Amino acid sequence: MPSPRIAVIGAGLAGIACASRLQLEFGIPAVLFEKSRGRGGRCATKRTVDGLLIDHGAQYFTIRDPLFSSIVHQACGDALLPINAPITSPDGTPIPGEPRWYHRDGNSRLARDLGPDLDVRSATEISRIEPLGHSWLVNDEPFDAVVSTAPLPQSFRILGLSSPPPAYIPCLTLILSLNGPPTGRAASQYAVRDRSGPLEWSACENHKLTRIASDRTVIVSQASEAFSRAFLEADPVVWGAALTDLTARTWNLNPADVIERVTHRWRYARIASPATLPTLPPGTFFAGDATSASRVESAWLSGHETAARVAAFLTKAQAADPAPAIP
Ligand SMILES: Cc1cc2nc3c(=O)[nH]c(=O)nc-3n(C[C@H](O)[C@H](O)[C@H](O)COP(=O)(O)OP(=O)(O)OC[C@H]3O[C@@H](n4cnc5c(N)ncnc54)[C@H](O)[C@@H]3O)c2cc1C
């Protein structure tokens, strides 16, 4: 009897965790369809032409869950590093927190290390899946079950749900590259967090070891929810200039030292609150950060847990109809 086949849409941390567990623990092959060229989704890293690695999505990740801890340590080995420099409020008061981790080779590398041998069809955007008997057509191929890990507005479209999807909070992001090594507060401090101003987060990537050349300073800034909503559809030149100004003031940088400015618009950066999903069509599943918390670790755990639900569904379907769904 042929093995069931599963389609997983999205090669972010949830998709990678789901496909990995299906294959390794349940022996069920999964095909990942990813619209981008790379993996990692919002756990994103830019590699500049001169070889700098800059995390412009998830800045760091927590390792709270014992299972995630053991798997991520095993998969990443000595590439898993803690951020040691402090995070403060704008007035310099340290903000305490649990250990914050990053991947030496760029946070997007997590997706590769946590799922090294997966069948990923990159640059393949899925707009809709279609039912075919008891199975589903994805990109014209039949599958016994489909897991969508795209942010919910996209997942609702893909799965053909008509109810309005839960709200997400956008995040406008700026990457600034400057001539010279970090000076002033950037020399000793990783990030500044300001929950009440327009610049919610600004971090000096030089504190991630081996990432940034010694004659450069790289700052990643994220606008607040209010700023991001106000400028979401505006010209990036306009909001990029405003964020540059705020960033320069925060770190006391000289704008004349800026070599490069890159903007990125995250339309679905994080969920406003954990979502409750409507009933999904049989054989379809959602995995991702949207049902728990917008964190790398939560996304991975959601994918991992969804793999068990998919395996249980297939076992039940097989018991009800021993003939294979896909001839
Ligand atoms: C700016 C920013 C900062 C953040 N900072 C942190 C942080 O410091 N710490 C932390 O833990 N978390 C942080 N997060 C949150 C964290 O990145 C996410 O919670 C997590 O990466 C979500 O993983 P996911 O797999 O659920 O979704 P995603 O990473 O969004 O993965 C979904 C994948 O689906 C793909 N896709 C979408 N539509 C389609 C389609 N139609 N067809 C095919 N593929 C599709 C996407 O390209 C993507 O690769 C941050 C997020 C952002 C945006």
User: pLDDT digit string (tens) for 251-307?
Assistant: 999 999 999 999 999 999 999 999 999 999 999 999 999 999 999 999 999 999 999
What is the atom index within ligand 1 of the atom nearest the CA of 44?
17
For 220, other C-beta atoms within 10 Å of its C-beta total 23
Sign, CA dihedral 241-105-58-196, equals: negative
Pocket probe for ligand 1: among 143, 232, 294, 297, the residue whose CB has the most ligand atoms within 8 Å is 294
Query: E-assigned strands of the chain?
Result: 6-9, 30-33, 45-47, 53-55, 80-82, 87-88, 101-103, 119-121, 130-132, 135-138, 141-143, 145-148, 168-179, 191-193, 199-204, 216-223, 258-271, 284-286
pTM of the predicted structure, to 2 decimals = 0.96
Which residue, 270, 287, 318, sits at the end of a domain? 270
Please give the tally of structural domains in the chain.
2
Amino acid 319: pLDDT: 87
pLDDT at 112 over 70: yes
d(CA 324, CA 58): 41
Q: Is the CB of residue 19 below 6 angstroms from any atom belonging to ligand 1?
A: no
Report helix, strand or coil for 122: coil
Q: Tell whether 26 is covered by a domain.
A: yes
Instruction: Answer yes or no: do 252 and 266 share one domain.
Output: yes
Amino acid 48: pLDDT: 86
Instruction: Answer yes or no: do 145 and 76 share one domain.
Output: no
Amino acid 327: pLDDT: 44
Q: Is the CB of residue 173 below 6 angstroms from any atom belonging to ligand 1?
A: yes
Which residue, 252, 270, 288, sits at the end of a domain? 270
* Cα–ligand 1 centroid distance for 295 (angstroms): 9
Instruction: Answer yes or no: do 80 and 205 share one domain.
Output: yes
Amino acid 78: pLDDT: 97
Tokens of 69: 């801890």
The predicted model gives 100-115 an average pLDDT of 98
d(CA 78, CA 219): 25
Q: Tell whether 146 is covered by a domain.
A: yes
Instruction: Answer yes or no: do 211 and 306 share one domain.
Output: no
Amino acid 51: pLDDT: 85
Which residue, 250, 270, 290, sits at the end of a domain? 270
Treating both helix axes as pointing N-terminal to C-terminal, what angle do 296-320 and 66-76 enclose, rounded to 10 degrees? 100
Q: Is the CB of residue 75 below 6 angstroms from any atom belonging to ligand 1?
A: no
Amino acid 1: pLDDT: 55
Task: Return the CATH number at 317.
Answer: 3.50.50.60
* Cα–ligand 1 centroid distance for 12 (angstroms): 6
Please write down the long-range contacts of 208-214, taking CB distance under 8 Å and 24 or more positions apart.
Answer: 208/53, 208/55, 208/81, 208/83, 208/102, 208/104, 209/81, 209/104, 210/104, 211/52, 211/53, 211/54, 211/104, 211/106, 212/52, 212/53, 212/54, 213/50, 213/51, 213/52, 214/181
What is the atom index within ligand 1 of the atom nearest the CA of 124?
43
Instruction: Answer yes or no: do 176 and 298 share one domain.
Output: no
Q: Which domain holds residue 308?
A: 1-35+124-166+273-327
Closest CA to 174 of 218, 208, 222, 217: 222
Tell the residue nearest (CA) to atom 5 of ligand 1. 58
H-state helical runs in the chain: 13-24, 66-76, 109-113, 152-159, 185-188, 225-231, 236-251, 296-320
Please give the share of the chain, as a percent, with pLDDT higher than 70: 98
Amino acid 324: pLDDT: 52
Q: Tell whether 65 is covered by a domain.
A: yes
d(CA 148, CA 167): 17
Q: Tell whether 41 is covered by a domain.
A: no
**Do β-strands 87-88 and 191-193 pair in parallel, antiparallel, or remain unpaired?**
parallel
What is the atom index within ligand 1 of the atom nearest the CA of 59?
8
Q: Tell whether 114 is covered by a domain.
A: no
Instruction: Answer yes or no: do 29 and 176 share one domain.
Output: no
Instruction: Answer yes or no: do 142 and 186 share one domain.
Output: no
Instruction: Answer yes or no: do 63 and 25 share one domain.
Output: no
Report helix, strand or coil for 201: strand
Tokens of 46: 């830019």
pLDDT in tens, 62-86: 999 999 999 999 999 999 999 999 9
Instruction: Answer yes or no: do 174 and 316 share one domain.
Output: no
pLDDT in tens, 2-31: 689 999 999 999 999 999 999 999 999 999
